[in-house]
A and B are shown apart, each in its own frame.
Chain A
Amino acid sequence: MKQAIAVIGIDCYFPGASDPQQYWRMLLEGKVHNFAVRDRADPPQEHARCKHGEATLDHADLFNPEYFGISSSEAALMDPQQRLVLMSAWRAIEDGSHSPRRMSGTRTGVYMGLMSSEWTAWHTCNPEFVSALSGSGSGFCMVANRVSYCLNFTGPSVAIDTACSSSLTALHYAYRDLEAGECDYALVGGVNLLLGEGLGAFYRAAGLSSAGGMCRPFTGKADGISRSEGVAVVFLRRFEDAIADRDPIYCKVLGTAVNHNGRANGVTAPNRWAQVRVMQDAYKTAGVNPDDISFLEAHGTGTRLGDLIELNALTDVHNGDTRSRPLPIGSIKGNFGHAEGAAGIAGFIKAALTVSHRVLPPAPCAEGEASALDASKSFLEIPKYPKKLSEDTVIGSVSSFGLGGSNVHAVLASHDYLEKPAKADSRSEIYVISAPSEAGLRETATGKAALLSRSPYRTSDLGWTSRCTDAGWQYRYAVVGKTNREIAGKLKDKANDPGPIKGGNLQSSNIAFMFSGQGDEYDGMAACLCDEWPLFAEHHHDAWRALGKASEGMELTDPGSTWSTQSSLFAFEYALGSGLINAGITPGFFFGHSLGEIAAATLANLIDLDTAAAIVAGRSLYMNKAPVDGAMLAVHAPYDTVSVYLEDSQGVSIAAHNSPSQIVLSGDYAAICDIENRLKVAGLRTTVLRTHRAFHSHHMTNAASDLLKSLGTLNVREEKVSFGSFPALLSTVTGEVVAGKLPVSHWSDQLVKPVLFGDVVKLASGMSVTHFIEIGPRSTLSGLVKKTDPSATTVNFCGSKKTDTDSLLSGIARLYEMGVMPNWDFLASGRHAVRLHGTRSDFFPLHRYPLQRILPRLETLESGDGESQYGGEVCQPEEETSSFTDAMASVPDEKKACASGNADINRGENPPAAVLGILVSCLKASSPIPAAHIGRDVRLSEELGLDSVALVYLRELLVERIPELGGIAFADLLPHLTTVGECADYLEKFLVKDADSLTPERSI
């Protein structure tokens, strides 16, 4: 028996059912789509493409170009079949609890069945109207290739046409490729849009078309085919891979088979013997017997001949069955007609849902059964009501037979998870959503909040699934909560908050980790994190092991010893920093406050863990021996103010420059007291620090030399492994970037020298660090950073009192919103979270993304005879009515100038502004990225995402809008298509050249 393939995600959109949940409901209720039977003479209404005997999709013109990096203009020139398949593929992947964007680069195969592309026929018949974009918007291959391109899939990418059996044939080849290892994931589907009369006319001419306008398979009233639109995609993996990753599984595919009729009674005639053989082959491949099959989804087109031949074939196969009950058969074509390119996948999804729910839907056949069924009564039946399927393993199969004689059969089986996941625990969870625009994020958040507040699923499962499927778009929300209601409430609050959403586009170089110094420690600070986060616990353990080794034989437990403080802080920082880096949160820079610099240097790979432990142990030991008649004083004033008082003081020095307005003094007790009084008198605010030792002062001189001596015997790593591969260390000892080896004296010097914290923060900010993450158990450093750089963003993991699960998760959530993409695995490790289907047929579907209406360009439809199908709509960017357009900041004058043809910009008086305006407007029409502001230094390819085809299109637009360009060759224009400014300058030259011949109010 072949290896099974798992169906992990399903998406479909058919007349009367816009998602799998509605699809299943339609099937259970035996609904027949209400065909709008209209007189052909009626003038076509806006968007009313429904004709006699045709079941159409209500919203085939809605699309979300941003999700795929496609500009609205390009989208308007794409075959809508391509657009529908893109969206369906996206949703199928999410339904399988994977993230489409994070699957980029995977060997995912795309196999799409189609039977026609009436769009291509319309758009390529008049060469005058063919452009680069309309070319790539047409054709069969692009329905599959476009998916592979947009989502960056490198597996096989094929469009398959075997007429009616196309999409099930696609399944067959996907199955084989998955099994053979040609790809690791597969998207299989089909699409069909009725944009022309051709196939309908063919059916009529061939006598296949239903006069009543409906498919009625296996009934007495069957009289032929009616056409239907639809799109569907299923997401497949090898079964063992799906199990290993704990993917949600709908069912298994056990085997498939294909064949051709050979030379039968006519090229379009079905062949009984071929149908028998393809079924038998499929059963053999799947390792099942005919009487193992609990139900069969037939091809069932509702043509008299076709139905009869199929019934005969079914009888042949199941003749001699030892089955005790007849085999139920049905055909989805009875619900909405023949979906042609999508027919095979429609039947497959019906079978998959049947097997998954273990309920057999009825066949909508109020008309009475075909007489042919009487003959085979003992073997076949048409279920009239939904039936419970009680077998332990439900096995079903699907047939699809193409008009050209290409046949395919597939066998499916139910899958039951043997082990139920562990019971829910009431832990906090992070729930995430993202979208490519602010408006999209708010809409999605509101929609999801409404569903979450009533969702019966465990919070841990919903949270985990949200993190698995998240696409990591720029605009993000991450909320932390223990219950679904709590999460829903927070999402709603965020969506309703009118403040702007910054959007995350953080680079590593914008992030710095800052490690705390002494004074921030407290009992039990690491306990919660150790429980919650296995990797943290592991690193914490490693640190303590090193510390234990380093401190062997040392007397460190004297009262007043700083050993417990220093060691516990170091271990905490080492574990937290390592944990975050392992979780995929990598900074560009490290720095630490005093003691913190040790962990910083360790993680920057400048010293190893054992060395670091030795430094910590040594420090504690020798600092312990320092005099206990010291004191330290924090002063809330700038250095310049305080230094005046220091001039007269002996025995006091600066211990730390924490910020431009915060200094710490250190020294002899008496001297400190004295200066404290003088500063108080001067009205300056001071705080005595709770310590008897004057750290970072001359009191530490002996300790420093002792430390230097003891460390001298160590093998301190002198060379960095390779610069650039680790974040850089900014030293608060030297106030500079550490660009070379760290001598041992660095650590001894540190004991006496002041902590140049404020200077390092300034240095970091100057190097474009905007986000400072506190690697410590409190939020002390966060406060200090803000005093030096008020615009800085700080993140810490300390709640109101201490680090706990909620504060850890809140910190991670904030980082995510800022643009960091953690490896979410680290949070679910050790837990039993389950991944959920995005659109469960029985429970609530997760919100579908907001879409915008894409209307086709009229000029490309004027070719050819016959009425335009779209009633004369012209694609104007400003007529798109969705909230996405509102969210995109636009410059009204420029847009008007481009699209409407009226020149509001006076080119004669101000050519540079005019040219820039035109250029920006054209760029907005051709760029897939909605840029709120296109400045002169914006790069066309790297930042606006224009690829070669889009650049060619840009040239076309520019030539249209700036006639002075004449017939400029693309090769001449290309070198100047670098930045907006350069391009504008180049174009301006053409205007200036013709300045003399310009009239002021010339229209564009």
Chain B
Amino acid sequence: MFKPRIAGAGEYLPGLPVTNMELENCWGLPAEWTERFVGTKTRHFCMDVSTGKVIEDILDISIEAAHSALANAQMEPHEVEAIVLSTATPKYLMPTVATELADALGIVGIPILQVQSGCAGSIQALQIASDMLLAKRASSVLAVGADVCTKHYVHGRDFSSVPQSELVNYVLFGDGAGALILTDDDMPGCRIPLLSHRFVGLGRPPGQLIDWFGLGDRLEDRIALKEDYKAIEKNVPILAKEALQYGLDCLSWHPEDVTHLFPPQLSGLMTERIVSSFGLDHATEISCVADTGNCGNALPFLQICRALESMTGGSRGIGMAIESSKWIQAVFAMEVE
């Protein structure tokens, strides 16, 4: 079985952590409500929340994460032979963030892809990277996951008139980027024995919607972000559990073999609930969403970055990303021999 090696990992969270209290002061969203119903404590933004001024964009944070991963891998940009980037919030539709990232890194002449998806996009990107290595299209691939919410932020908006289904997004989400460099060599280190994703949304209405606006409809008064929290609360734990079982079966691992768990990172509270339903209390949980905010495609990369610090020989980690847009179930695993 082909298992790409993680040659390097990096992450970047813009600015300083923004607390719930700061959001209450700036946007009027009660901190207590956030703590109780969402469970997120801090998050990062590419903008200054008090003024709305945008300081960095998705390209900037992707560059930082990529630099970090390259430095971690002790590799030069010219050693990267393909780039795959996943995001739901690109800067432009064209050119892609991935190509602008290549330009910034001084890279030319290699295949570059961008995957558009929610959080499952990260696993999709990693799977594409792995397949490229397997097919010998490249011997090292830079995979990046990033999301930012600045395009949907309206500074000075009166939040008292915003429906709760939209309101919760403002405390839930955050900005961030993560990157991995995968290689096909046989050096010792951490490897990925499983990357799998599938669409399970046949007949199901979307649980999450992000609209985008072009020149023609940008003045229309449509709701830009919508989450069906009831559906999410109901379906995600089930899909997550299913994904876990599926993953263990693929790998022929027993639950007790699992040393590290990477649960879906929706919000602090949701993650807690899901983990308790797994019954893998012996495993080290690698979660970050309560501190980093939900930064979509970046999250699995952030989890992997953090796990690398504690995984030693014999470690086995399994994780999943359940995308509630049109219901994509993704699972991945990590191991150190």
Measuring CB to CB, which residues of chain A are less than 8 angstroms from any residue of chain B? Answer: 24, 28, 357-359, 385-388, 390, 420-421, 424, 454, 456-458, 841-843
Contacts and interface: CB of A to CB of B under 8 A. Distances in A.
B71 A456 contact: yes
A842 B64 contact: no
Contacts of B70: 456
Contacts of A358: 78
Contacts of A424: 72
Given A357-B78, A420-B74, 9 more contacts: A24-B106, A357-B76, A357-B106, A358-B78, A359-B108, A385-B108, A387-B108, A457-B71, A842-B76
Contacts of B67: 456, 843
A388 B64 contact: no
B150 interface: no
A359 B105 CA distance: 11
B108 to A, nearest CB: 5
Contacts of A842: 76-77, 105-106
A387 B110 CA distance: 10
Contacts of A28: 106
Given A24-B106, A388-B108, A841-B106, A359 B78 contact: yes
A420 B188 CA distance: 13
A386 B103 CA distance: 11
B155 to A, nearest CB: 26
Contacts of A421: 74
Nearest to A360: B108
B264 interface: no
Closest CB pairs A-B (n = 10)? A388-B109, A456-B71, A456-B67, A358-B78, A456-B68, A386-B108, A420-B74, A842-B106, A388-B108, A457-B71
A388 B74 contact: no
Contact of B10 (A385, A387, A456): A456
B106 A388 contact: no
B110 A388 contact: yes
Nearest to B103: A28
Contacts of A359: 78, 106-109
A362 to B, nearest CB: 10
Interface of B: 10, 64, 67-68, 70-72, 74, 76-78, 105-110
18 contacts: A24-B106, A28-B106, A358-B78, A359-B78, A359-B107, A388-B107, A388-B109, A388-B110, A390-B109, A421-B74, A424-B72, A454-B64, A456-B64, A456-B68, A456-B70, A841-B106, A842-B105, A843-B67
Nearest to B66: A456
Contacts of B110: 388
A458 B71 contact: yes
Nearest to B12: A454
Given A357-B78, A456-B70, A387 B64 contact: no
Contacts of A841: 106
A112 to B, nearest CB: 30
A357 B105 CA distance: 11
A420 B74 CA distance: 7
A424 B74 CA distance: 10
Contacts of B107: 359, 388
Nearest to A421: B74
A390 B110 CA distance: 11
Contact of A388 (B68, B71, B72, B78): B78
B186 to A, nearest CB: 14
A390 B72 CA distance: 23
A570 B228 CA distance: 72
Nearest to A422: B74
Contacts of B108: 359, 385-388
Contacts of B76: 357, 842
Contacts of A385: 108
A454 B61 CA distance: 11
B60 to A, nearest CB: 10
Contacts of A386: 108-109
Nearest to A426: B309
Contacts of B68: 456
Nearest to B71: A456
- Chain B CB count within 10 A is highest, among A387, A390, A842, for A842
A390 B79 CA distance: 10
A357 B77 CA distance: 8
Contacts of B77: 357, 842
A462 to B, nearest CB: 10
A359 B67 CA distance: 18
B159 to A, nearest CB: 33
A255 B76 CA distance: 26
A424 B8 CA distance: 11
Nearest to B104: A842
A28 B104 CA distance: 11
Contacts of A390: 109
B144 to A, nearest CB: 14
A843 B67 CA distance: 8
A421 B71 CA distance: 11
A843 B109 CA distance: 20
Nearest to A386: B108
- Chain A CB count within 10 A is highest, among B105, B106, B110, for B106
A160 to B, nearest CB: 33
A454 B68 CA distance: 9
Contacts of B109: 359, 386-388, 390
A386 B102 CA distance: 12
Contacts of B78: 357-359, 388
A388 B70 CA distance: 18
A30 to B, nearest CB: 13
Nearest to B70: A456
A682 B180 CA distance: 73
A358 B67 CA distance: 18
Nearest to A353: B106
Contacts of A357: 76-78, 106
A259 B242 CA distance: 77
Contacts of B72: 424, 456
A349 to B, nearest CB: 16
A620 to B, nearest CB: 44
A28 B109 CA distance: 13
A512 to B, nearest CB: 43
Contacts of B71: 456-458
B309 to A, nearest CB: 9
Nearest to B73: A420
Contacts of A457: 71
B175 to A, nearest CB: 16
